[in-house]
Amino acid sequence: MRELAYYEAKFEALGEIMAADERVHLIGGTFLSLSTRRAIYQELVKKYPGRAVSPPISELSFCGLATGAAMAGLRPIVDLSTGSFIFEAWPQVANEAANALYMSAGQTRVPVVFHIFHGIRGGGAAQHSHSPQAMFWNCPGLEIVLPSSPRDVKGLLKTAVASDNPTIFVDHVQLLEVRGEVPENDKPIPFGQADVKRKGSDVTVIATSLEVQKSLGAAERLAEEGIQVEVVDPRTVVPLDFQTLLASVEKTGRVVIVDQCHRSCGIAAELAARIAEEGFDKLKAPLRRVTTPDVPIPFSPPLEEFVTPSESRIIDAVRAVLR
């Protein structure tokens, strides 16, 4: 099977999506981030003039524009770029897009995709390093997608665009160069389908987005010591495939949840609560979370490293649940 870089798989997905449905519009232009790869994205802009537009720096209005366009029949993918910037558009995402189908009792569909790069990116500091996905989990009506591999980003982006619901597509710039297998003629990946990225029998590590890659790295190192870690990737938290997570909990009895959101009320917090509610009698030890602490993200590189969930912290947590 061929191997692609994450950004290549994502770009391939965008191209196929644009070719397949002329209702798809791209609003904003950093889908491949501000990296050197950005020039590749210009190929799409050239190929589809009028369908790949660059709005002014006014997130509230261009997210509202995308929402309204979706209500009128378009299928826009809006790029907010840095995840923190979605705060500028909060009313349109959380109070208009998320509510529209419900408030209208199904008269209005909002097939819009809000694309962000979340998390700690290297020097972004407090205002450019947010992981807002858990905040959106607290807004009913939004689907939340977190790809972690080249195969997943391609398959999930297709489903995100095909979905009639407003979708938050949560990406991470540090995933862009990750390499992985992507089949030719791949199929879209359904939402609500978790993926066991690595099988193991000793400890379940549940992770999302970039932390899946770090968890796989940690699992490799732990395997050398004879500890078999199972890495489970929900891929979408809304809708959530809790059954697969629970099945792994039942298998190993020991859980570590890794998440780049802040500790309080992050993705890990909600997963932990559900496991405690439904899998308590399967646990052989208290579960552990590896998250970003409840502090604004500092600038200086050693400080930033200190707050970022890392392979070593994951390894420490796995050892802790095994004690």
Partner 1 sequence: MKKRDREELLPLLEKMWIIRAFEEKVSELYAKKEILGLIHLGIGQEAVAVGICSLLHQDDYVFSGHRAHGHAIAKGADLGRLMAELAGRSTGYCRGKGGSMHIVAMDAGFVAATGIVGGTIPLALGAALVCKEKKKRQLAVVFFGDGAGQTGAFHESLNIASLWKLPVIFVCENNGYAEFTPLSAHTVVSRLADHARTYSMPNVTVDGNDLLAVLDAAREAVQRARSGEGATFIECLTYRLRGHYEGDPGKYRELSEVAEWKAKDPIARFSEMLKQKRMASEKQIREAEIEARARVEKAVDFALSSPWPEADEVTKQVFA
Is 69 or 146 the residue whose CB approaches partner 1 more closely?
69
Give me the least distance between CB of 95 and partner 1, in Å please.
6
Positions touching partner 1 (CB under 8 A) are 50, 53, 55-56, 58, 60-74, 76, 91-92, 95-96, 99-109, 140-141, 143, 163-165, 239
The two structure tokens encoding residue 48: 């589809």
H or E stretch covering 27: strand 24-27
When the beta carbons of 90 and 282 are compared against partner 1, the nearer one is 90
128 is catalytic: yes
Cβ proximity to partner 1: between 74 and 206 the closer is: 74
Helix, strand, or coil (residue 66): helix
CB of residue 164 to partner 1, shortest distance in Å: 4
| Distance spanning both ends of the chain, measured CA to CA | 40
DSSP state of 189: P
CB 115 within 8 A of CB 17: no
Residue 66: closest CA among 136, 113, 135: 113
Rounded CA gap, 62 and 170, in Å?
Answer: 18
The active-site residue, picked from 59, 211, 304, 311, is 59
CB-based burial of residue 48 (10 Å sphere; 0-12 exposed, 13-18 middle, 19+ buried)? middle
Would residue 59 show up in a list of annotated catalytic residues for this protein? yes
Whichever of 64 and 279 has its CB closer to partner 1, that residue is 64
Q: Which residues are catalytic?
A: 59, 128
